[in-house]
Structure 1
């Protein structure tokens, strides 16, 4: 309590980060050879020029999203210095859950060897981690939780059409995680989330399960040009809005960690924010687009490489199918 008897402000901070990539690293050349077997032509040069991607990781058939989430979560817990038993909230952002239900978060909870805490999934596609982080932040600020595990985990290789070179070269599998804890000092300074379903058709996987069969297409569909055009605009706008909420400016940002979809979108956003491209965290070249896992994967890589340090002002951004987008500004 404060000296006046009013309750002191309560915030959430990131206590630790973690990530995990499947062992199978697939280069552009590997993928080109696979597609050539079906008479589909692509090349390392074609992929790099358009996307910045050089490699991605694919899970083996027996690996599900929760299997990737587990080691990422364990690494984040270790970095945070807390035991899984201390968690009172687990949120997993994923568009490729292990099964229809229960949630991947519940399955992860079991694999962590704990029980009793709240656990649920968030589905906002490539914006999923930012959505999940915002929800966890709000729950901690409200007092509904004290320590939260927030994970982005995907096995997008399961929903790719390997006869469509415009989409199958873009995506990869992986998981990233953070542990949030209640704090008297501001950590997550501001968040903002949006969606506009008028743009559903430009990025979707329209299939569903009914009567024991897949109804509709189970493969990812994307209008790349439409996504690009929309993404750069909304990412700049939401970033500026979050900065305004936090009382910060473009110049205050130490690091920009956007959804790792396409190097052109990422660089375009950085330029609109008048940022030096050296402040842009890039992992898309080695990870591809890992959807909800991309932001926490990139954050963990930046932390473990020593680039992101305690006290740095970090902007996280996501944009994806829905159409959804959002940002979170944090004092790491």
Structure 2
């Protein structure tokens, strides 16, 4: 028995927010003081570091669970399965459903229950639950699905990552330009086919790192101090990721039995273009190997950072030949890897 991804789907919102739309924002320092640079310069420096030129925002009447439902429908269709045969629906997110122009997160019922309801699944033994695991949530959901299947508790799972980060950003914080909305979904099941999940690795660092990402006040001191927004210690996250993600990827690859020369694609969380490129360099340096051409597809330039949705969306785009110069062939060894709030790191080595 092998455990494989038999279907995938993604939902990329239509609304495009370009970098130019931030030229009229009032960006402030953490203490509320004015930044002594024109917005055009701020945005230009931001693009040079992150690679982001535009990002996608959800339509005003959609929530994260809506986006997850849209992606789930596509994954179910792609896998050509009866949704009533799904044993678990695992939904990764960070902020629940946040309606447009509101500040309150809604997680009752869980997003997984909402998506199951939208899918009109009647089977009560299809168990639906959410996981809060930062940006690595979808990868961790796949790892949990594997565990359920290995333990004989399930044969088929639907794993979704969905987020609307545009609704929890502080518009006075330059970091707000990073975040976006979207959803990705996969069907994970036991099959007799070759390949599937070869190994996985997960770690949580909290001794000094727990609050590198957190909920904090607006940089605008005049706004309500009881309203919170997503905040991050960017430099600390960057250094943490560079020091720890390549090691986790190596531990996972070594455990899988595959050789570094067999790796065809690395689907890494789309957090920051420069950071992802540096992680890739350090990973291959651990093997004293050259980086192959086109091994790391990127979507952050056009889609931004949609947290739990980046990895499954990226995988779905490449799988369906929707990303230029990237494709997958049967037997390809690929790595999924992510880092995010917690601080969590995880990786999966997978044979397509």
Tell me the TM-score normalised to structure 1 length: 0.90
More helix by share: 1
Unmatched segments (≥5 aa) in structure 2? 28-33, 98-105, 218-223, 285-290
Corresponding residue for residue 60 of structure 1: 59
Which residue of 2 is the match for residue 267 of structure 1? 277
The aligned counterpart of 2:305 is: 289
| 1:189 aligned onto 2:198 | yes
| Residues 280-289 or 191-200, more deviating | 191-200
**Equivalent residue for 2:346, pick from 302, 307, 326:** 326
2:336 maps to which residue? 316
Counterpart check, 1:31 vs 2:22: yes
* 1:56 aligned counterpart, secondary structure: strand
Of 139-148 and 253-262, the range deviating more from structure 2: 139-148
Which residue of the partner structure matches residue 42 of structure 1?
39
Displacement of 1:21 in angstroms is 1.5
CA distance in 2 between counterparts of 1:243 and 1:249 reads: 7
| Alpha-carbon distance in 2 for matches of 1:59, 1:231 | 28
| Between 142-151 and 42-51, the greater mean CA deviation after superposition | 42-51
Query: C-alpha offsets along residues 56-87 of structure 1, whole Å, 9 cap, x if unaligned?
Result: 11123321111001111111111111122221
Quote the Cα distance in structure 1 between the aligned partners of 2:189 and 2:211: 38
Structure 2 SS opposite 1:279: coil
Q: SS of the residue aligned with 2:210? A: helix
Alpha-carbon shift at residue 216 of structure 1 (Å): 5.2
Q: 1: distance between equivalents of 2:74 and 2:215?
A: 31
Q: How many angstroms does 1:141 deviate by?
A: 1.6
- The whole-number CA distance in structure 1 between the counterparts of 2:18 and 2:273 is 17
**How far has the Cα of 1:250 moved from its partner?**
2.0
After the TM superposition, which residues 226-265 of structure 1 pair with which residues of structure 2 at under 5 Å, given as runs?
Answer: 226-265=236-275
- Residue 205 of structure 1 aligns with which residue? 215
Cα distance in 2 for residues equivalent to 1:46 and 1:215 = 29
CA change 1:277–1:216 in 2 (3 A) is: farther
The aligned residue for residue 211 of structure 1 is none
Residue aligned with 1:102, SS: coil
In the alignment, the residues of structure 2 paired with residue 35 and residue 307 of structure 1 have an alpha-carbon distance, to the nearest angstrom, of: 41
TM-superposed deviation, 1:142: 1.5
SS at structure 1 position matched to 2:144: helix
Instruction: Determine if contact 2:8/2:76 at 8 Å carries over to the other structure.
Output: yes
CA distance in 2, matches of 1:265, 1:139: 33
* Structure-2 separation of matches of 1:215 and 1:119: 35
Aligned-residue Cα RMSD (Å) equals 2.1
- Who is 1:101 aligned against? 108
> In the alignment, is the contact (CA less than 8 A) between 2:247 and 2:283 conserved in 1?
no
Aligned residues: 316
Q: Deviations over 1:115-140 (max 9, x none)?
A: 32011111111111111110001111
Q: Which runs of 5+ in 1 are unaligned?
A: 1-9, 208-213
* CA deviation vs aligned residue, 1:80-106 (integer Å, no higher than 9, x gap): 111222211100010021223221011
Q: Please say if 1:126 is aligned against 2:143.
A: no
Q: 1:170 Cα shift?
A: 0.5
In structure 1, C-alpha distance between the alignment counterparts of 2:188 and 2:39, rounded to whole Å? 42
Assess, with a 3 A threshold, how the Cα gap between structure 1 residues 35 and 68 changes in structure 2: closer, same or farther.
Answer: farther
Q: Which residue, out of 89, 114, 128, partners 2:121? A: 114
Aligned to 2:121, the other structure's residue is in SS state coil
What does 1:63-78 correspond to in 2, within 5 Å? Answer: 63-78=62-77
Give, in whole Å, the separation in 1 of the partners of 2:248 and 2:128: 28
- Find out whether 1:154 has 2:163 as its counterpart: yes
| 8 Å CA contact 2:195, 2:331 repeated in 1 | no
